[in-house]
Amino acid sequence: MRRIAATRETGPGRVLVGPKVLGKGYARIVAQKDGSGRIERFDLVTRKWLPAPDSVTFADVWSAPPVPFGLLPGIAESD
């Protein structure tokens, strides 16, 4: 019998924080290749994650409440 071990995704593109409810939308922090993070917002029209405006800070995303499970299926996926 073969065993499949669950592994944690590492490296660029990995979601570090989120998705979180931020105002009337959703945001998350994603790892970048250089080890830093970038903030993305979820566009409800295109259903894609896009760069967040500069007015959104890491502190805003960290302190925001999480998106309730099942509220928006597929929002954890990348483009």
Per-residue tokens: 28: 């998350």
Question: Can you point out the beta strands (E) in 9-66?
Answer: 15-22, 25-31, 37-43, 48-51
pLDDT tens, position by position, 21-79: 998 899 999 999 998 999 999 998 898 999 999 999 999 999 999 988 776 655 555 44
On the CB side of 73, how many CA atoms lie within 13 Å of its CA?
Answer: 0
Please report the pLDDT score of residue 4 as a whole number: 46
pLDDT of residue 58: 94
